[in-house]
Amino acid sequence: MPLNNLPRVGYVLKVYPRLCETFILGEILAHEAAGLEIEIFSLRPTSDSRFHEGLSRVRAPVTYVPSQSIKSQDLWEALCRARFNFDDADALMDEAACTSGETVYQAILLAEAIRARGINHVHAHFGTLATTVARLASRLAGIPYSFTAHAKDIFHESVDQDDLRRKLCDAHAVVAVSEYNLSYLRSVFGESGSSVRRIYNGVDLQEFPWSKPVNRSPLVLGVGRLVEKKGFSDLIDACAILARQRWDFTCQIIGEGLLRDALQEQIERLDLGDRVHLSGPQPRHEVKNLMQRAAVIVAPCVLGSDGNRDSLPTVILEAMALGTPCISTDVGGIPEMIRDRDTGLIVPQRDPQMLAEAIQQLLANEPLRVELATSARHLAELEFDIHQNTRTMREIFQPGGARATQVAVEVA
């Protein structure tokens, strides 16, 4: 066993690194700080051109499992090796009929790496491709696997529930990043969800020091991908209401996504070009600087028309730690972080008028900002300390760890 009798863990990710998945980066760094030996396996090359500075602190080696230009001969040779080297290879052949050749090929290569490198456990993020490959590879290599279920991988209309049920049943443990996700999985999948345990995503509280939100500029900040479930169209409409009422403010929305052109058109149509700015993706240190300067952070999340929704937005956790008050909605696990008028403000989703009124409250009422921010930091210290929460994750990586033990203790 590696240092501190901890297992050697393979992290299986669809793409590594990704600018929008800071929660995975933080999790890996917290594990490594505790002495866990990790190897990262990425199933796709990254297309991001910007990266967080924290990547340089990751010690884990990264293996990019081949996924392109795979020839039929490559797959055939891999299948032959698997039948010779792995006892459970015939079961894999049975599943190969309903799994793409590329996925089977990657699973075999991953299983070979697991065995060659002495990996004792594999953990995947998101219950889709990464978990599919991790599950097959773990069966071949004869080691347990676990995965973290986040949002799109369980809520989206495209989710294959039979496939997700198999993964829930086979997994040594499944991490739900909120009570909301835990309740959803258990209600939909019943006994198949018995291995699910709630472990919140967290933040490194030392990297996000608290400061009192006083003497802040009237900056309204939004951070997230420009997709429907983030609700930024409602934020822009709320800004139009504030502008008509002659409030002194600016709004900056950081992120990239499919709705960028539509949101920019909305800004221009509402004549908000001097007030609301789409800033694109930004380095993590710049996002943190803006969060520390902002009077309020708004995460106007909505239930998407495709069933997708947020569960535990990282930007809210970071704002809670830093001391910037948040406004959001009651979507997913958000009320587990933002307790209305205690640790932030909750407004109905898709209600720009109520959103504008909440923004007004926080722009105008500095004592309220301080009160909410103080309570939010306290909750972050109790529930969202990444070092505490990853300690609980490491319990499920231990050999012989209880598969279905329920604990009250993360995650796109």
Is 171 within the bounds of a domain? Answer: yes
**pTM score, whole prediction:** 0.91
The Cα–Cα gap between 55 and 64 comes to 16
**The pLDDT of residue 134:** 96
Is 411 within the bounds of a domain? Answer: no
The tens-digit pLDDT sequence of the chain (412 residues) is 444 577 899 999 999 988 778 899 999 999 999 999 999 999 998 876 666 677 889 999 999 999 878 888 988 898 889 888 888 787 777 776 778 889 999 999 999 999 999 999 999 999 999 999 999 999 999 999 999 999 999 999 999 999 999 999 999 999 999 999 999 999 999 999 888 999 999 999 999 999 999 999 999 999 999 999 999 999 999 999 999 999 999 999 999 999 999 999 999 999 999 999 999 999 888 999 999 999 999 999 999 999 999 999 999 999 999 999 999 999 999 999 999 999 999 999 999 999 999 999 999 999 999 999 999 999 999 999 999 999 999 999 987 654 533 333 333 3
Match 């709705």 to its residue by tokens.
259
The count of other CB atoms within 10 Å of the CB of residue 211 is 12
- 374 and 392 in a common domain: no
- 259 and 186 in a common domain: no
- 153 and 243 in a common domain: no
Cβ partners under 8 Å of residue 408, min gap 6: 198
Is 208 within the bounds of a domain? Answer: no
The Cα–Cα gap between 58 and 44 comes to 19
Per the CB < 8 A criterion, the answer to whether 232 and 257 are in contact is no
The Cα–Cα gap between 343 and 37 comes to 36
**The pLDDT of residue 406:** 38
- 19 and 139 in a common domain: yes
Q: Retrieve residue 75's tokens.
A: 């797959």
Per the CB < 8 A criterion, the answer to whether 172 and 403 are in contact is yes
Is 207 within the bounds of a domain? Answer: no
- 393 and 351 in a common domain: no
Is 210 within the bounds of a domain? Answer: no
Query: Which residue, among 328, 320, 269, 261, has the nearest Cα to 301 in the 3D structure?
Result: 328
Cβ partners under 8 Å of residue 77, min gap 6: none
User: In what helix (H) or strand (E) does residue 37 lie, and over which residues does it extend?
Assistant: strand 37-44
If you count them, how many residues does the chain have?
Answer: 412
Cβ partners under 8 Å of residue 160, min gap 6: none
Query: pLDDT tens digits for 332-374?
Result: 999 999 999 999 999 999 999 999 999 999 999 999 999 999 9
Residue type, 359: I
Is 410 within the bounds of a domain? Answer: no
- 190 and 51 in a common domain: yes
Match 């291995």 to its residue by tokens.
195
Q: 85, exposed or middle or buried, with CB in 10 Å at 0-12, 13-18, 19+?
A: middle
The Cα–Cα gap between 23 and 397 comes to 18
- 224 and 332 in a common domain: yes
- 260 and 122 in a common domain: no
Is 412 within the bounds of a domain? Answer: no
Q: Where are the beta strands (DSSP E) in 255-295?
A: 276-280
SS3 213: coil
- 164 and 31 in a common domain: yes
- 181 beta partners: none
The count of other CB atoms within 10 Å of the CB of residue 19 is 20
- 225 and 192 in a common domain: no
- 289 and 335 in a common domain: yes
The Cα–Cα gap between 223 and 257 comes to 12
Count of the separate structural domains present in the chain: 2
Per the CB < 8 A criterion, the answer to whether 145 and 135 are in contact is yes
**The pLDDT of residue 89:** 80
φ/ψ region of 361 (left if φ > 0, alpha if ψ in -120 to 50, else beta) reads alpha
Q: What residues make up the domain containing 56?
A: 3-202+386-397
316: CATH: 3.40.50.2000
Is 89 within the bounds of a domain? Answer: yes
**The pLDDT of residue 51:** 64
- 197 and 65 in a common domain: yes
Per the CB < 8 A criterion, the answer to whether 41 and 109 are in contact is no
Report H helices in 2-99. 22-33, 72-85, 89-96
Q: Retrieve residue 405's tokens.
A: 């033990």
**The pLDDT of residue 48:** 67
